[in-house]
Amino acid sequence: MQESNVDLLIIGAGPSGLMCANALAGRGFNIRVVDKRAVGVQAGQADGIQPRTHEILQSYGLMERLLREGVEIHRNAFYNPGPSGGIQRVERTAAISQPTARYPFTMCRHQGGTENFFIDAMRPKGLEVERSTVPTVLELSTSTDSPELLDPQANSVKVVLQHLDRTENDREVVHAKFVLGTDGAHSWVRKAMGIRMEGGHTDFVWGVVDFFPDTNFPDIRARTVIHSTHGSILVVPREGDLVRLYVQLSDMDVVDKQTNRVDKAQASPEKLIETAARILQPYYLRAIGDVQWWTVYIIGQRVAEKFTVQDRILIAGDACHTHSPKAGQGMNASMGDTHNLAWKLAYVLRGWADMSLLRTYEAERRKFAQDLIEFDKEWSTLFSGKPRTDQHQDGVTHEATLGVFKRFGGFSSGIGIRYAPSIIVDSKHQACASKLIVGERMIPHVFIHAADAKPANIHDLLPSDLRFKILVFVADVTTDTGAVPLRKLSERMGVESSFLRRFGHGNHLETFDILCITSAERDKVDYTDVPELFRSHWSKVLVDDVDYSGRCGGGGFAAYGIDPKEGAIVVVRPDGYVGTVAPLDRVEDIDAYFAGFML
């Protein structure tokens, strides 16, 4: 059989696998992506994309396409049983209530469309998905106690691939440094490694159907939660006038009693729409043309017992956590996993970081998955419960439903995700940037370029390019209050023992991107007023002031909780999360932070 070596073999070309592949494509790594499907997803599957994922996609230059192809959801609507037996609207609210969300709305784009964002971005970088290809053997090629496992350059994993579209030479052996299994809820990789899923299934049976509706229901273009005496529905507007309905099925007729799995043959899209029409009374609902996609499922809530095997074989996405799709978390959680993982793999493969860095992937994302399941248990139980009526006083109230929306808003939007203290999350000096929470994503804010007065959102200056971003917030550099400490900081960061020199590998700009933000006035400062270390390019110097139109900018120091006279150093990880903060005169603590995991 043909044999080859790779740095990373990704098994499964869904959103999770493609997020990782795109993050590493064209950056000097030998990567392959294989998938058993002959073609990509054409319709249906996951569709909801949350505000934090918007920010992540923006960091890869993909948000503009999502805005062009997807649909924005700005409103929630809530319906409960009315006095006449039908349903009536109780309230409308904003879809997203997180004040720091750069994109304060949810979006929908079907999974295949989202996958194409990555596929099309990877192609010019020379990386394509190898389809009709499945693994048949997966094993560590050395004993679990071998020193070789500690060498990131060792090809410690052996995979036999079978190409289903070939009649000759259809098998090959791949020797990989790392293998990533992103092959879905029934993951072959997970099963091959004997990784157990912890959790179980509920008794809630739901159908989902995508179609073009003919209806007089007024909130068909809002994300609408409907509780009625006939069951529950979640309405999700889709791109191109499509609508997705999640429809509660009131019986277990579609479940095989022996396997406890859904028997799709016992259901139909017509039955789902008929059930939905009954729930929507007094409004009418009919389908226009053919149904685009549909399925039936039992809600499962499970998390893998571990996400890695010897830090060499890793799993992500649905391969390590499954939950109800109604909260719109699936694709977001999956892409979030590999956005977290990609830069860590890159640093280990380049020899920039110790193998121990990879352990933070499981520590951070498994905790997230467990929190997601706890949220999903409460949400799906509430959503599937009967509404409160005069005859059913123990039922679900609107206040309870809205309370869960508000309580979990930060989590479900992704905006409030916080990683716990670790070697890459150090909150020792949190007080010097009190509103920029260490372990959470960098808060977006508009600053003004000192060189040309053009406004810029700080997020647009923090692309996902595998570099740490060192943000130096300093007082007015046209005065000694700002100029003196900045000059001292430049001298301290320029010595051989500083993190820039120790971990810069000959050219610190390949590892660290430095930006300087000053509280000076827009028209009184020049970008050349800061030391050269902080202006590798004119665009790296910004001011915290309003733009000429008076519409944006200013208030950044206050938004971040940074004293404009004292300043601070903010370290943003390559995935956009704040790793640590420190006063300007405590560079040694930044040195220690990087020394904790970098080589």
Residue 234 near residue 383, CB atoms below 8 Å: yes
Q: Please tell me the distance from the alpha carbon of residue 528 to that of residue 540, in angstroms, as a whole number.
A: 11
Residue 83 is which amino acid?
Answer: P
Residue 215 is which amino acid?
Answer: T
Q: Please tell me the distance from the alpha carbon of residue 552 to that of residue 540, in angstroms, as a whole number.
A: 19
State the DSSP H helix or E strand holding residue 344, giving kind and residue range, or none if neither: helix 330-349
421 in catalytic set: no
Residue 229 near residue 387, CB atoms below 8 Å: yes
CA-to-CA separations, 101 to 287, 437, 593, in angstroms, rounded: 35, 15, 28
Question: Nearest CA to 567 among 494, 503, 517?
Answer: 517
Q: Which of 52, 190, 237, 246 is catalytic?
A: 246
Q: Please tell me the distance from the alpha carbon of residue 524 to that of residue 431, in angstroms, as a whole number.
A: 30
Strands (DSSP E) contained in 50-190 are 71-73, 75-81, 87-94, 106-108, 129-130, 133-140, 157-163, 171-181
Question: Nearest CA to 181 among 305, 34, 325?
Answer: 34
Residue 205 near residue 298, CB atoms below 8 Å: yes
Q: Which of 7, 35, 47, 219 is catalytic?
A: 47
State the DSSP H helix or E strand holding residue 558, giving kind and residue range, or none if neither: helix 556-560
Residue 318 near residue 185, CB atoms below 8 Å: yes
**What angle do the packed helices 330-349 and 51-59 form, to 10 degrees?**
40
Q: Please tell me the distance from the alpha carbon of residue 141 to that of residue 155, in angstroms, as a whole number.
A: 8
- Enumerate residues 6+ apart whose C-beta is below 8 A from 514: 469, 470, 472, 533, 534, 536, 540
325 in catalytic set: yes
Q: Which of 109, 238, 467, 535 is catalytic?
A: 238
574 in catalytic set: no
Q: Please tell me the distance from the alpha carbon of residue 298 to that of residue 254, in angstroms, as a whole number.
A: 10
Residue 258 CB: number of other CB atoms within 10 A?
6
Alpha carbon distance, N-terminus to C-terminus of the chain = 38
Residue with tokens 């993050």: 23
Task: Give the 3-state secondary structure of residue 247.
Answer: strand
135 in catalytic set: no
Q: Sign (positive/negative) of CA torsion 580, 582, 584, 586?
A: negative
Residue 416 near residue 440, CB atoms below 8 Å: yes
* Catalytically annotated residues: 47, 238, 246, 325
